[in-house]
Amino acid sequence: MNSTIAIFDSVDQLPSNLLQSCRKMPIPNTMLMCSPDYFDVVDVKNPHMEGNIGNVDTSKARRQWTEVQKAFSECSAKVELIEPVDDCEDMVFCANQTFVGLDSNGRKLCVLSQMKHSSRQREVGAFSKWFADHGYRVEQLPEQLGFEGSGDAIWHPGRALIWGGSGFRSASQAYPYISEFFGAPVIRLPLRSDRFYHLDTCFSAIDEETVLIHAASLTADGIAMIRSVFKNVIDCDDKEANEGMACNATAIGGKHVVIQKGNDTTVQALKRLNYTVHEVDTSEYIKSGGSVFCMKMYVF
């Protein structure tokens, strides 16, 4: 591996000028979504799915998906679509199959996920083709390393800095490769709870200064690093983070936040910081352990 790769695991390792030392990155305004043609809960891959096998209202799920798509458009985001693959019931969760961005030369790059569950592994090929067809260089990790895309790897808005969750779906050892591919430092955040099995369930970067977190799902070192880098840290309470998946919100343009409805405390905290909040219903998708952030992939 390249000796210049920067991986940070504790606050004392962080340079004081970390953000300023990271090159600027555009904030994407295009969302890739997948129609929920085959969406269902057919097995239990995470605790949210327990008791929900065969319990999805598919008509309601489609209406909710359309509501999320409309909210993105109302925030002036462009929505692209990928064709759903037969019997890939989780393909609607577009955040997981890849991690995409710009490399150190400003070129579009897609790193393929190596997903834990075989049913989800079948989704990756379609995303590989989609991104290749749209001008992305496609790379793959060593096959023994689990990695679940932007479910766990999240760009710091506006900067070439990656926050990397690990423990349940993605291996911490994947991040030196991710750092090398993109020429960007990675701050690793081990996850503590299987209810918050991806980083995007307990961490949502809103803009360069603001983040939503569920602190109980992160380590003390992780929380210290987050507080060192972000000016505004909104710690979502257990009920909203768990039942309402408040930290699975999607920020658009640094001004808008699309979030599951009913997370009143989190919504008020965002409004006090002058964000425009769009509440949507993703209750059918929460049965599968995902909400707004899971339902799209940022496209650069």
How confident is the model at residue 32, as a pLDDT? 98
> Across the chain, how many H-helices and E-strands are there?
9, 16
How confident is the model at residue 4, as a pLDDT? 60
- Domains of the chain, each with CATH number or no CATH: 25-299 (3.75.10.10)
The residue with tokens 């707004």 is 292
Is 149 within 8 Å of 113 (Cβ atoms)? yes
Low-confidence ranges of the chain (pLDDT < 50): 1, 3
What does the alpha-carbon distance between residue 254 and residue 205 come to, in Å, rounded to a whole number?
Answer: 9
CA-to-CA dists, residue 239 to 108, 130, 263, 289, angstroms:
38, 37, 9, 14
How confident is the model at residue 5, as a pLDDT? 84
How confident is the model at residue 266, as a pLDDT? 98
**Continuous H helices in 186-263:** 220-229, 238-242
pLDDT per position as a tens digit, 284-295: 999 999 999 999
pLDDT per position as a tens digit, 242-254: 999 999 999 999 9
